[in-house]
Amino acid sequence: MNMRDRVLTTLDHKEPDMVPLTEFAIDPPHLEALTGLKVEGQTSLQTPVSADRKEEMANIDMTYRCYKRLGFELVPVELSAPDGWQAPKNPDGTMIDEWGRILRYTSVTRTWSPFRSIFQNPEDFDKFTLPDPDAPGRLFGIEQMKKLVKDDYALGAFIRDPFAHVWEMFTPGNFVRWLYEKPQLIRKAIEKLADFNVSIIKQLREVQVDLVISGGDYSEKNGPMVSPRFFREVIFPNLRRQVEETHRLGVKFIKHSDGNLNPLLPDLVQIVDGLHSLDPTAGMDIGAIKSQYGKKLILFGNVSVDSLCRKSTEEVIRETKDCLRLAAPGGGYILSSSNSWFADAKLKNCLAMVETARKYGRYPISVPRG
Amino acid sequence: MSQKQMALDAVTQAFGEVLGADEAKKRVEAALENSASPMEIIESLREGLDIVGKKYQAQEYFLSEVIMAGVMAEEVTGLLRPRLAVSSTNMFGRVVIGTVKGDIHDIGKKLVSTMLISAGFDVVDIGVDMPAEDFSTAVRDSSPKILAMSCLLTNAMDEMKKVVAALGGAGLRSSVKVLVGGRPISKEFAQEIGADGYGADAVDAIKAARGLLS
């Protein structure tokens, strides 16, 4: 069974020969440590920040080498900026992405992150020209990675969830205020961004990806960011459109979210095929979710990122064994951390997670406690 | 019940039910017309925010309601500020707040900041991605009762420890209570770095701030 088949088998809720592994992102310091290469140019985990294809090719090649070295069966890739696009730069050193988010460089992670927005008033959105999904080059990175992974590894295409995207584009303060004062604007923005995603998903037919992964959070530690009612009225119908388009490609749709998703699970299980990250520190119990929804949901997770950063290697090994014991039986499970390998995660702990998964992840699963 | 008390209850209700900034301002103006003092209105606002906090922690409300209540509180305190003596708005004393170096997240910090102002604190917000020395300088310059630090990234957590050390190095540690919060922060971590208090979320942070000064 090759690595891609291992993933495809588990996506069908069957047991492959062993539990597949992946991370949805690995921060530059770890990529560099694991490959001996250097991350080129400017990067962000949330949005394309450069259309320099030479740099992008180098970074894709480095990601491929890193995943190959780790033996990760599933390789996720972000959308690219369109050909020739250049991020507008501000005098204070910030830049603006295609979606009007103002990004600032974070020296610790060496990536660009959104922290402000060009949208100050509701009218700003009416004047804003949304990015064209059909602009050439958006699938550049995904196409390049497909050439590298061929049919040996599974390939996942990242899109950005419309709710999370609008929440960030407008900033949470404006999003909430306009939700109260201009609810139609928020609805319209989410619909427009879902339209964008549907167009992208249609284009993915050309590349033959194995998964569509929707990034962006629905919840924080306490619970959903907005009421479950708003999810049902606005967010979920738009999520469903993206899932349906993905299913037309014949592939599965995985929703990522940090935070406490428990109040949304009964709805999500009816819409998406799987869930990623299942943050244990936010009350996401992978064993309970497996018992209740495991026949319908593919689960990704959930070795705590906090443990990777701050706890002992023994603790990480114990958590990894727990994940395997609770979530792997029956298939439909891919082991990963509860978010990604942050820059300050101890690489020793990350590698212990991988090693433990390989040691105890062979089917039929039999993991000793402790 | 007097007209004034009814108007004050309506302010509490506007916050407790998160009826929006316009409605809150309308009800505050009605309370003023019914001879309520700005301090009485602020007290009604606080009662409303307490309701929001309780409902959030009981998962009846969500982050959006807490943020909106913060927006409403900001607008209403802005409306009342010219009518209030400075000392009476700052009954609990000053708080210096910031996000630590390596982290540019502003939302949680801003929310806590707004709610602290509404709860009667005088807040000095020093911004995001702030080095330990800047926290220390702000404490020296502003003489707050509390120094509040936020971070969302685990990468930045150790910066909090550096801030506590910088306060010690500058001989300021005993003059200020240290409050920490943010997604990766736990009570145990707060104790480990020698902080005095910990807020699990924005609502909890306000409670913790009050607790530190009680």
pLDDT digits (tens, 9 = 90+) for B90-114: 567 899 999 998 777 777 788 888 7
Q: How confident is the model at residue B87 (pLDDT cuts 50, 70, 90)?
A: very low
pLDDT in tens, A293-348: 999 999 999 999 999 998 999 999 999 999 999 999 999 999 999 999 988 899 99
| Backbone torsion region of residue A46, taken as left when φ is above 0, otherwise alpha when ψ lies between -120 and 50, otherwise beta | alpha
| SS3 category, A311 | coil
The answer to whether A210 touches A156, Cβ cutoff 8 Å, is yes
A173 touches chain B (CB under 8 A): yes
pLDDT in tens, A236-250: 999 999 999 999 999
Chain B residues with CB-CB distance to A under 8 A?
A: 20-22, 56-57, 59, 62-65, 67-68, 70-71, 102-107, 110, 128-129, 153-158, 183-184, 200-201
Q: CA B22 to CA A363: how far, in whole Å?
A: 60
The reported pLDDT for the residue numbered B89 is 52
What tokens appear for A258 in the block?
Answer: 């940090």
CB spacing of A177 vs B68 below 8 angstroms:
yes
Mean pLDDT of A88-113: 88
Domain presence at residue A115: no
CB contacts, 8 Å: B200 with chain A: 221
The reported pLDDT for the residue numbered B85 is 57
Task: Check whether B200 has a pLDDT greater than 80.
Answer: yes
User: Of A258-267, B51-60, B152-161, which range is least confident?
Assistant: B152-161
Mean pLDDT of B172-192: 92
Phi, psi (deg, nearest 5) at residue A46: -110, -20
Domain presence at residue A21: yes
Element (H, E) at A33: helix A28-35
pLDDT in tens, A53-78: 999 999 999 999 999 999 999 999 99
Domain presence at residue A368: no
Domain presence at residue A111: no
Task: Check whether B86 has a pLDDT greater than 60.
Answer: no
pLDDT in tens, A175-186: 999 999 999 999
Domain presence at residue A121: no
What tokens appear for A240 in the block?
Answer: 């469903």
| Backbone torsion region of residue A223, taken as left when φ is above 0, otherwise alpha when ψ lies between -120 and 50, otherwise beta | left
Mean pLDDT of A34-43: 88
Structural domains in chain B plus CATH codes? 3-87 (1.10.1240.10), 90-213 (3.40.50.280)
User: Residue A230 belongs to a domain with what CATH number?
Assistant: 3.20.20.210
Mean pLDDT of A288-296: 98
pLDDT in tens, A130-160: 999 999 999 999 999 999 999 999 999 999 9
Q: CA A303 to CA A353: how far, in whole Å?
A: 8
Phi, psi (deg, nearest 5) at residue B196: -90, -25
Phi, psi (deg, nearest 5) at residue A160: -110, 130
Task: Check whether B88 has a pLDDT greater than 70.
Answer: no
From start to end of chain A, where are the E strands?
74-77, 95-96, 101-106, 111-117, 154-160, 211-215, 252-257, 274-277, 298-303, 333-337
The answer to whether B36 touches B4, Cβ cutoff 8 Å, is yes
Q: What average pLDDT does the structure give for chain A? A: 95
The angle subtended at Cα B201 by Cα B200 and Cα B206, nearest 5°, is 100
The reported pLDDT for the residue numbered B38 is 86
**Residue of chain B minimizing CA distance to A260:** B59
Domain presence at residue A24: yes
Going by C-alpha positions, the residue among A32, A94, A90, A7 that lies closest to residue A343 is A32
pLDDT in tens, A101-114: 999 887 767 788 88
- Which amino acid type is present at position B79? L
User: Of A56-60, A194-198, B84-88, which range is least confident?
Assistant: B84-88
Give the helix ranges, DSSP H, for A115-251.
122-127, 140-149, 162-170, 172-181, 183-203, 228-230, 236-248
Residue A256 CB neighbours (<10 A)? 24
| SS3 category, A320 | helix
Task: Check whether A30 has a pLDDT greater than 90.
Answer: yes
Distance from CA of A284 to the nearest CA of B (A): 15
CB spacing of A173 vs B107 below 8 angstroms:
yes
Angle separating helix axes B3-16 and B38-57, nearest 10 degrees: 30
Task: Check whether A228 has a pLDDT greater than 50.
Answer: yes
**Tokens 């020793």 identify what position?**
A348
Task: Check whether A193 has a pLDDT greater than 50.
Answer: yes
Q: What average pLDDT does the structure give for chain B? A: 89
Rg (CA), chain B: 18
Interacting residues of A18 by C-beta distance below 8 A, sequence separation 6+: A6, A358, A361, A362, A363
Range of the domain at A332: 3-84+130-360
CB contacts, 8 Å: B109 with chain A: none
Whether the ω angle into residue A364 lies within 30 degrees of 0, i.e. cis, is yes
The minimal CB distance from A108 to the residues B106, B128, B155 is found for B155
A317 touches chain B (CB under 8 A): no
**Residue of chain A minimizing CA distance to B19:** A180
Domain presence at residue A330: yes
| SS3 category, B90 | coil
Domain presence at residue A286: yes
Distance from CA of A305 to the nearest CA of B (A): 9
Going by C-alpha positions, the residue among B127, B126, B193 that lies closest to residue B157 is B193
Q: CA B202 to CA A113: how far, in whole Å?
A: 22
The reported pLDDT for the residue numbered A322 is 97
Q: CA A338 to CA A179: how far, in whole Å?
A: 30
Whether the ω angle into residue A302 lies within 30 degrees of 0, i.e. cis, is yes
Cα A154 → chain centroid: 15
The half-sphere exposure of A11 on its side-chain side, counting CA atoms within 13 A, is: 23
Q: How confident is the model at residue A277 (pLDDT cuts 50, 70, 90)?
A: very high
For residue A168, the 8-state DSSP code is H
Task: Check whether A189 has a pLDDT greater than 50.
Answer: yes
The half-sphere exposure of B178 on its side-chain side, counting CA atoms within 13 A, is: 28
Q: CA B68 to CA B80: how far, in whole Å?
A: 18
CB spacing of B64 vs A179 below 8 angstroms:
yes
The reported pLDDT for the residue numbered A164 is 94
CB contacts, 8 Å: A176 with chain B: 64, 67-68, 71
The half-sphere exposure of A143 on its side-chain side, counting CA atoms within 13 A, is: 11
The minimal CB distance from B104 to the residues A115, A175, A181 is found for A115
Identify the bridge partners of residue B181 per DSSP, sorted by sequence position: B150, B199
Q: Round to the nearest angstrom and report the end-to-end CA distance of chain B.
A: 32
Count of domains observed in chain A: 1
